[in-house]
């Protein structure tokens, strides 16, 4: 079952996936059913399309609920960079969301595009292709991740490094572990502590944390002895390290948990929605999905219930 997250705020209309009597549909920003529950599974809207499953195959609908691509795919991903990556009968394709084109490539596996390039596998090794299906970075690594801030993380199986869009290795690596770039920095493990490097491979923030996640919206989650908190671009702890689990900052709020309960903090550590949920997902389009024992609900930024528990 996919995480029922709201559509991105840049979508033509906010749509949030909800389940009713074993079928999935979508509500709008006001909590009204926009697309009647009728699907066996769904994924979030992106660029005006959402993958939906009927039986064993996937298709795509638009924000009105109209079927844009009939269910026929064995696998499907939300669109990104104008391309929706799908698999049909073992062949990986890209569906052009803007011009209706079909991308084909000489690859055994394809992942979603980011910043104009998509991870693609040929044999056992991964590289990157462009929207025309052409290899831009030849396959040479056992695993890769999508581009962020013009940089992609790659692994040779023994360590992690970063490459630019030409495939050139950036200085500073390899690292025992690493996260993605965000806001010009990436978390890396040096010895037994995490710090942050810049695009030149230089240590921009000292390796003092027990764990660290990538920057999102100017904040990075870091773990100290007493728990998780958030630092700003200068490395200052702006949300005190006290939480058991955290998620990236999204639309100015971050889901955090303490004593087994989840809520949301703002960028300075003030509780925006109190600790009360069994789990809480990231905000998108001004809405977030939360869970309790009785099921799921959809809330707004102040914790108001938009889609009630009774429907969960």
**Is residue 240 in a domain?**
yes
Structure tokens at 86: 């799908």
The reply to whether 256 falls in a domain is yes
Give the pLDDT of residue 140.
Answer: 96
Yes or no: say if 27 and 34 are a contact pair by the CB < 8 Å rule: yes
Is the Cα torsion angle 217, 218, 222, 228 positive or negative in sign? negative
Instruction: Please check the confidence at residue 294 and state whether its pLDDT lies above 90.
Output: no
Q: What is the CA radius of gyration of the chain?
A: 20
State the pLDDT at residue 310. Answer: 54
pLDDT of 286 above 80: yes
Share of the chain above pLDDT 70, in %: 95
Residue 252 sits in which domain range?
A: 236-312
Biggest alpha carbon–alpha carbon distance for the chain: 54
Judged against a pLDDT cut of 70, whether residue 288 lies above it is answered with yes
312 assigned to some structural domain: yes
Q: Tens of pLDDT along 234-275? A: 999 999 999 999 999 999 999 999 999 999 999 999 999 999
pLDDT at 35: 96
Counted domains in the chain: 1
Placement of tokens 């990075």 in the chain: 220
In a domain, 46, yes or no: no
Is residue 310 a part of any domain in this protein? yes
pTM of the model: 0.88
For residue 265, list its beta bridge partners.
254, 271
| 8 pLDDT above the threshold of 60 | no
Enter the DSSP assignment of 251: T
Distance from the Cα of residue 176 to its chain's centroid: 23
Q: Specify if 40 maps to a domain.
A: no
Question: Phi/psi at 81 (nearest 5 deg)?
Answer: 55, 35
Say whether the peptide bond before residue 174 is cis (omega within 30 degrees of 0): yes
Q: Identify whether 300 is part of a domain.
A: yes
Domain containing 312 — which CATH number? 2.40.10
Looking at residue 10, its pLDDT comes to: 41
């Amino acid at each position: 079952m996919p995480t029922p997250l709201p559509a991105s705020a840049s979508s033509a209309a906010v749509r949030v996936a909800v389940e009713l009597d074993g079928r999935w549909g979508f509500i709008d920003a006001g909590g009204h059913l926009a697309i009647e529950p009728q699907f066996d599974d769904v994924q979030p809207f992106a660029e005006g399309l959402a993958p939906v499953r009927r039986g064993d195959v996937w298709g795509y609908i638009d924000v009105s609920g109209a079927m844009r691509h009939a269910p026929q795919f064995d696998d499907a991903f939300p669109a990104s960079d104008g391309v929706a990556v799908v698999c049909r009968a073992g062949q990986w394709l890209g569906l052009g969301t803007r011009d209706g084109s079909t991308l084909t490539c000489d690859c055994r596996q394809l992942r979603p595009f980011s910043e104009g390039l998509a991870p693609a596998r040929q044999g056992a090794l991964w590289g990157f292709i462009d929207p025309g299906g052409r290899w831009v970075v030849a396959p040479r690594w056992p695993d890769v991740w999508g581009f962020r801030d013009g940089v992609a993380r790659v692994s040779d199986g023994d360590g992690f490094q970063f490459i630019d869009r030409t495939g050139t290795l950036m200085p500073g690596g390899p690292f025992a572990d690493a996260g993605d770039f965000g806001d010009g920095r990436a978390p890396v493990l040096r010895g037994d502590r995490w710090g942050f490097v810049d695009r030149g491979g230089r240590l921009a923030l000292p390796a003092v944390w027990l764990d660290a996640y990538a920057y999102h919206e100017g904040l990075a989650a870091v773990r100290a002895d007493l728990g998780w908190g958030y630092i700003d671009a200068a490395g200052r702890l702006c949300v005190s390290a006290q939480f058991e689990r955290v998620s990236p900052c999204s639309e100015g709020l971050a889901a955090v948990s303490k004593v087994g309960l989840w809520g949301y903090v703002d960028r300075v550590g003030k509780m925006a929605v109190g600790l009360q949920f069994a789990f809480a997902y990231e905000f998108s389009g001004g809405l977030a999905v939360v869970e309790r024992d009785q099921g799921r609900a959809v809330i707004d930024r102040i914790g108001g219930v938009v889609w009630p528990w009774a429907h969960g």
